[in-house]
Amino acid sequence: MRAALAEAVSDGAEVPVGAVIVKNGKLIAKAGNRREKPGEYDPTAHAEILAIRSAAEMLKTRRLAGCTLYVTLEPCPMCAGAVVMSGVDKVVYGARDSRQGCCGSVYSLPSDEAFYHRVQVIGGILEEECAALLTGFFSSKRG
């Protein structure tokens, strides 16, 4: 989770969320949010999606079996869906998201029996530290 926190650094425009993917104890992918990157403005450029893409490219497969995703904020519906579809084994997240969290807070997409693949989820790891990053970011936006 510390590596994911390191990726969560914000330039003031991005919501500070970081994600890393680990396989066999080795960090294989890392990313921070890039939705507001000048010239790109990509609504899908969440840290989790970018880390999943990077891991798949590194492993040369779309199936991320044996991988664990660490992310500083509970994944949203889009990211939780990507986790399921990529075949990640486990998600470990920091801060809960009571508005859009789809790994237990609002909904639990990774454990929904409608999907073939189920993902183990562990939440609340370094929760206070992860939440403080987000609180500080949004407080500065409100002035």
Decide: 64 and 18 in contact? Cβ < 8 Å.
no
For the annotated catalytic residues, the residue numbers are: 48
Please calculate the CA angle 100-104-105 and round it to the nearest 5 degrees. Answer: 45
Decide: 54 and 32 in contact? Cβ < 8 Å.
no
- Angstrom distances, CA of residue 104 to CA of 47, 70, 110, 120, 134: 19, 15, 9, 11, 19
Kind of pairing between the strands at 67-73 and 18-23 = antiparallel
Collect all residues with Cβ–Cβ distance below 8 Å to 98 and sequence separation of at least 6: 105, 106
